[in-house]
Amino acid sequence: MLVLSCASVAYPVQWLRVSMATQVRSRTQVSFHRHDNPFVPEVVKALDSLDAEFRAVDYLVACNTSRVLKAFQNARVGSHHFGGSTGYGHDEVGGREALDQAFAEIVGAESAIVRSQFFSGTHAITCALFAFLRPGDELLAVAGAPYDTLEEVIGKRESHGAGSLKDFGVEYREVPLAEDGGLDWDALTSALKPHTKCALIQRSCGYSWRRSLSVNEIGRAIEMIKMYNPNCLVMVDNCYGEFVEKIEPPMVGADLIAGSLIKNPGGTIAPCGGYVAGRKKWVEAAAARLSAPGLGMDCGSTPGDIMRTYFQGLFLAPQMVGEAIKGTFLIAEVMASRGYKVQPLPRVTRHDTVQAVQLGSCERLLAFCEAVQRSSPVGSFTKPVAGSTPGYASEVIFADGTFIDGSTSELSCDGPLREPFAVFCQGGSHWTQWGLVLGEVLKHI
């Protein structure tokens, strides 16, 4: 009578030394009684092939947790920081500062602003872009089209005078990705003009069928950008990338990064918010955009219960991201074995927590999302329907039976109702959740 696949159990210290003998021994321990196996055979088979990938993820979690711990210790995080504040937030006892300091150290930045007042990732990215750009400047998206919700921010899609960058006289161009889905290096260098003030690099795939960028690729792009135009600032949309590697974009020269706390760095428990991190001058400019020029970073209240979740969520984030990455390996393995195109490919090193699967028809996309919703802990009795969502041009379907509304660090999936009808899966506080959900999905597509 044995328990789950070896990939699930806590590894003894010797896994760090990964000997073949250990691998063989652990594999031989994998046996289930068919009647009490929680997983369908496709999932069991996939798990048996993912030992090495799961071990590598645990090693990544250990490295990133170590960095987080050091930053918490350097910021002298204490329980008094969880008290929060009210009103203007002037009478804060250092929690805001300690959180910003720890976050900045973790991502290798000079400064950071981590706040509940950011509505979302889109809002944080917008504050960062408006920090850099002034009338007459140009924004250049160097990794193809940016995420859907940025279209109205940029003015690529009509914003009806709501104050897009275009409304303020900021020009925009984009460099399409190369055929292999990576950055087009030649096109990038020739696209940079003297008035290109900001290069936008999106680390994760968004709703595009493209591969996500590694931090090293981002670093190479930054080096080139600065070589061809030293005045061009680089902003990285870091959504879904945090803690997926051992380094973050500020460590390779990004001037600013921005993201959401209901994605990776909130560790599944932060209830709202976002962050901007990078060079001090520009973080302050983004803070002025979030609040008002002159108010700076030292105001804005956040209730105590939320402050505690920010610290605790950030501490948990490397582990939660690790579980989400294991989920992507499992989804890719199982769905590819059923003949679906997957991005990234099975067992390829991950650069974000998103696993895309091309389902090829609207019906299958809806059926996939319905199965995920039915298997969720919250709202399992509801049926997700596609509809219009603020910021998105296409109708989108979301399966998010999550404790935090719209959280994509919890197990969730979504997709725009357009060709090639791909579903984008992410999150999960333990990989076994995806193991169970896939059983339900496979019954219906």
Ligand X SMILES: Cc1ncc(COP(=O)(O)O)c(C=O)c1O
What are the residues binding ligand X (CB under 6 A)?
Answer: 120-122, 147, 149, 202, 204, 206, 237, 239-240, 260
The DSSP bridge pattern shows strands 341-343 and 396-399 to be unpaired
Q: Are 203 and 169 in contact (CB under 8 A)?
A: no
Residues 6+ apart with CB under 8 A from 76: 98
**What's the closest the beta carbon of residue 148 comes to ligand X, in angstroms?**
8
When the beta carbons of 206 and 427 are compared against ligand X, the nearer one is 206
| Nearest position to ligand X, beta carbon | 121
Residues 6+ apart with CB under 8 A from 55: 11, 15, 18
**What's the closest the beta carbon of residue 147 comes to ligand X, in angstroms?**
4
When the beta carbons of 75 and 177 are compared against ligand X, the nearer one is 177
**What's the closest the beta carbon of residue 351 comes to ligand X, in angstroms?**
12
**What's the closest the beta carbon of residue 149 comes to ligand X, in angstroms?**
5
Residues 6+ apart with CB under 8 A from 105: 70, 71, 74, 75
Which one-letter DSSP state was computed for residue 84?
B
When the beta carbons of 5 and 214 are compared against ligand X, the nearer one is 214
CA distance 53 to 55: 5
When the beta carbons of 92 and 352 are compared against ligand X, the nearer one is 352
When the beta carbons of 263 and 326 are compared against ligand X, the nearer one is 263
When the beta carbons of 229 and 426 are compared against ligand X, the nearer one is 426
When the beta carbons of 273 and 346 are compared against ligand X, the nearer one is 273
When the beta carbons of 39 and 421 are compared against ligand X, the nearer one is 421
**What's the closest the beta carbon of residue 146 comes to ligand X, in angstroms?**
7
**What's the closest the beta carbon of residue 197 comes to ligand X, in angstroms?**
21
When the beta carbons of 7 and 286 are compared against ligand X, the nearer one is 286
Nearest 10 degrees: CA dihedral of 119, 125, 126, 132?
140
**What's the closest the beta carbon of residue 163 comes to ligand X, in angstroms?**
17
Which contacts of 360-368 are long-range, i.e. CB under 8 A and separated by 24 or more positions? 360/420, 360/421, 361/421, 362/417, 362/421, 364/421, 364/445, 365/397, 365/415, 365/417, 365/421, 365/422, 365/423, 366/397, 367/444, 367/445, 368/399, 368/413, 368/423, 368/441, 368/444, 368/445
**DSSP letters of 52-78?**
HHHHHHHHHHHHHHHHHHHHHHHTT--
**What's the closest the beta carbon of residue 409 comes to ligand X, in angstroms?**
11
**What's the closest the beta carbon of residue 244 comes to ligand X, in angstroms?**
13
When the beta carbons of 416 and 439 are compared against ligand X, the nearer one is 416
Which contacts of 151-159 are long-range, i.e. CB under 8 A and separated by 24 or more positions? 151/393, 152/391, 153/122, 153/125, 153/126, 153/129, 154/129, 157/393
CA distance 334 to 352: 19
CA distance 158 to 286: 24
**What's the closest the beta carbon of residue 22 comes to ligand X, in angstroms?**
37
Q: Are 318 and 246 in contact (CB under 8 A)?
A: no
